[in-house]
Each structure stands twice: as C-alpha cells, then as structure tokens.
Amino acid sequence: MINRYRQLTFWHDSLPGELQPRPVLDRDIEADIAIVGAGYAGLWTAYYLKQIDPSLDIVVLEAEIAGYGASGRNGGWCSSHVTGIEKWFEDPQHKAAALHLQRLMFKTVEEIGWVTEKESIDCHFDQSGALEIAVQAGQLNRLKQELAHLRELGFGEEDYQWLDAGEMKALLDVDGGLGGFRLSHCAAVHPARLARGLADCVERMGVKIYEQSPVLNIEQKVLTLPAARVRAEINLITTEGYTANLAKHRKRLTPIHSMMVATEPLNQEQLAETGFKQRYTFGNFDRATTYGQLTADKRIAFGCRGTYLFGSGIRTSFDPAEPVFDIVRNTLLQFFPGLRGVGFTHAWGGAMGVARSMQPSVHFNPSTGQGWAGGFFGSGVAATHLAAQTLADLVTGQDTERLQTPWVNSPDAHKIWEPEPFRWVGIRYTRAMMQVIDRIEYRSGRFSPAVCRVLDRLLP
C-alpha cells in the first residue's frame, strides 16, 4: 500500500518519511464544516478557516491520501497565472475585477513563500521566476504581442521583463531560444511536499483528515462514505479533476490529463549544458503547453501533452513505456539536446479539472451550506491558495477585497459540459488543432503568422 503511493510520481517517491495513510473514517460523525478532497484547495481552505475561527470543527475527507491528485503530481510552477483570465480582461464588465484578481495573484505567490516558511513546510520554494521562451519566429511574434498586451493592461517590468536572445541564453540555454519574457511572480516548488506539509500543518491546527475515505454522495447536509456518514452544516467540494465521480456534479468539471517525466539528477557537465543560473521554471510558447523546472536535487521535471478520455474517464496508473512519454522525453531533449543520454527515472500523469467556461470559480451558497473551488486547469498551484482564502471569507461572512474578483459566485461556473460524444469530439478536436497549428508554425517559419492567426480562430 505504501509503495502504491510512493510510485505515483517522482514527487511522491522523493517525499521524506513514511507515506503512511491516515485513518479511514469508519463511524458516523458530525462537524461544522466538511471538506471533500485533500489537495491544495481543500487544505488551504481548512487552513484559512482555522485562521479566521480556530474553534471551527473541520473534517477533510480524502478518497486516497492528501496530495494524491493534481496537487501531488504537478509541474511545480507556483505561478500568478489564472486560467482564462484573458477572457475577463477582454470583457469591459469584468476587466477591472480581473486586473484586481491578477494583482492579488502576484501577491499570493509571495504569500505562499512566507506562509510555508512560517509553518515550516519545506516545499523547496524558490521564486526565481518563470521563463517563457520563443524557439521559432511565430512564437517570438506571439510573445511580443502578449507582452505588449500586458503592458497595455498596466503590468510593468517588475512583473514581466522582456529578454532578447542573448539575455535569455545568459539565464537558460534552450536550443534555438530567440528570446521571451521572465515572469517574476512564479516560484518553483516540490508539489507533493507542499501538499503533504500542508496536511500536517492543518492537522496540527486541529483539523481532522481522513484518508482512503471517498465521499460517495452528498444529500441534505449528509455526506455518505463507504463505512460512515458525516453530518455537516457546511460542505465544500474541492475534488477538481475527480469531480465527475460525484453525483450531481458530474458535468461541472471535466478531467484533462497532463503527462510528466523526471530525469536523474544532472551532473555538473549536464547542468552546464542547460545553463541554468537559478531554479527558473521554463517553457516554450507552444499552444500545447510545455512546462519544466529544475528541482532542488538538480533533476529536470518536465511535462506536456494532454489527453481527454471518453466520458470524463480518469486514469490512475501510467506506464513509463507508453509512447506518450517518449514524446514528453523527446520534447525536453529538444530544449536541451546536450542532455541526450541522460537517464529518465520517473514518468506519470495526472488529471486537471476544466470548467466549461474554461475559468476557475469559487462558489458558496449560504442557504444550502454548499460551496466549491475548482476549474484551475493547468494553473492551480498558486490560484488554489487565493481561491481557498476567498472560499474561507465567503463561508465565514468576511468582507474582504478578495470578494471583488470575477471568479466569485460567477454564473458561468454553473455552465455544464456537453453530453458525450459531443464533449469528447470537442475536446479532442481542440487539442488536435492546437498541435496542428503548432506544427505549421514550426515548419513554415516566417510565412506562418498569418496562416496561424486564421487557424487560431478555429479554436473554440
């Protein structure tokens, strides 16, 4: 059993100490607040609820172990980016609130740094920033446009700095790097250390966590588990990519899988090949996202490629020999051809939660006592922190500046996914188109921008 969890990812495998599951809930209990899911969203919500009112009786119910889901498996970009915020920027009705959200997200990255330090959560937090790198002319064009747009929105050099090819190479020697920008508000973290450390921390604050205790149903303030029932006035759902397993929430979020690999620790020569000056997170500007980081023990953890399984299926195990991991490994080697021959020690995947609006939401209904935070897609390491603070504000009736953000109780959060097979066709089409457009951009160099602009319009 212990090995099953250790083998999930490099992150779980490199956790210190025992990975012994906490007790299963096997008797009926009552609580003030029940939180379903022990990822960052659930655990930070418990943390901030306890900060506001230490007397609250809070239980967290987790189907596997804390950090089993995306929170233990991700790329460790603790970044200020919020999925779908661009859509809010473009909407005059939401623009001001979206700018406010973005500013709060800048602060949240730093806050995670000092809260984890204060709580002795050793998650290898290192705010060296994120490098978004162009490796062909089309990407360079798009990155320049992106930066111009960010400047128009009022974000300055202290947030995003342009780096020409030489300046970028001085920080990280990515093959064919033509320049790009550095986002200051991003830290590299060890994701599972953050999740597991946070679980220990909230437990010390008096929160009860039950592991291997899946919630099967929530009805009239009663949560039903295989061997117990929990009665709680307030129940909060933070099950993200796994939400489709919960009755009545099946179509709110859908799981998209992303795939990752980790190398063995790089030796001095290999490190010199990559040119890492600090622990930057890095990616190129592909539409089908790529993301990497240098871990504290000098490996590269790297991910890309997403898949959707018919009927919102969720994969729980991954075989490093699967062809998709060859693609991920080769994509990393295209960044750093000098690493050819490096050993890869781990390969894994994980499910991210995607809302139909393609935007995350924080929702609470005081009359039913039910709430959620979810839909973070590939940008949830930092966003879950702010969302959890916001959810704690809503539940306890605090009036904070966090509530003036477009993701709070947004009507769009109630949009549901189309039934199958339309969902499968739509998502598969979008991902295939992204890959095709990327390929055209790589192959056709300077002719591609106009063609790609037209093709981009075909993306839903």
Ligand X SMILES: Cc1cc2nc3c(=O)[nH]c(=O)nc-3n(C[C@H](O)[C@H](O)[C@H](O)COP(=O)(O)OP(=O)(O)OC[C@H]3O[C@@H](n4cnc5c(N)ncnc54)[C@H](O)[C@@H]3O)c2cc1C
Q: Which is nearer to ligand X, 138 or 360 (CB)?
A: 360
Closer CB to ligand X, residue 37 or residue 179?
37
Q: How far is the CB of 1 from ligand X (least distance, A)?
A: 15
Smallest distance from ligand X to CB 119, Å: 17
CB nearer to ligand X: pick between 143 and 256: 256
What would the 3-class secondary structure string for the chain be? Answer: CHHHHHCCCHHHHCCCCCCCCCCCCCCCEEEEEEEECCCHHHHHHHHHHHHHCCCCCEEEECCCCCCCCHHHHCCCEEECCCCCHHHHHHCCCCHHHHHHHHHHHHHHHHHHHHHHHHCCCCCCCECCCEEEEECCHHHHHHHHHHHHHHHHCCCCCCCEEEEEHHHHHHHCCCCCCCEEEEECCEEECCHHHHHHHHHHHHHHCCCEEECCCCCCEEECCEEEECCEEEEEEEEEECCHHHHHHCCCCCCCEEEEEEEEEEECCCCHHHHHHHCCCCCCEEEECCCCCEEEEECCCCCEEEEEEEECEHHHECCCCCCCCCHHHHHHHHHHHHHCHHHCCCCEEEEEEEEEEEECCCCCEEEEECCCCEEEEECCCCCCCCHHHHHHHHHHHHHHCCCCHHHCCCCECCHHHHCCCCCCCHHHHHHHHHHHHHHHHHHHHHHHHHHHHHHHHHHHCCCC
Nearer to ligand X, 133 or 246 (CB): 246
Interface residues toward ligand X, by CB under 6 A: 36-42, 61-64, 68-71, 73-77, 79, 214-215, 238-242, 245-246, 258, 260, 291, 303, 350-352, 374, 376, 378-381, 384
Shortest separation between residue 37's beta carbon and ligand X, angstroms: 3
Shortest distance in whole angstroms from residue 69 CB to ligand X? 2
- Residue 125 or 452: the one with the smaller Cβ distance to ligand X is 125
Least distance from ligand X to the Cβ atom of residue 331, Å: 14
What are the residues facing 254 on neighbouring strands?
354
Report the nearest approach of ligand X to the CB of residue 217 (Å): 9
| CB closer to ligand X, 361 vs 379 | 379
| Alpha-carbon dihedral 64, 186, 85, 66, rounded to 10 degrees | 10
116 or 448: whose CB is closer to ligand X? 116
Minimum CB–partner distance for residue 446 and ligand X (Å): 32
- Closer to ligand X by Cβ: residue 357 or 448: 357
In the complex, what is the shortest distance from the CB of residue 378 to ligand X, in angstroms, rounded to a whole number? Answer: 5
Residue with tokens 């602009």: 453
The nearer residue to ligand X, 177 or 349, going by C-beta atoms, is 349
Query: Any idea which residue has 């995306």 for tokens?
Result: 70
User: With respect to ligand X, which residue has the nearer C-beta, 260 or 395?
Assistant: 260
Instruction: Point out the residue whose Cβ comes nearest to ligand X.
Output: 380
Could you tell me the smallest distance in angstroms from the CB atom of residue 72 to ligand X? 7
For residue 260, give both structure tokens.
């990752």
| CB 443 to ligand X: min, Å | 28
Burial code (b: 16+ CB inside 10 Å, e: under 16) for 228-240 equals bebebebbbbbbb
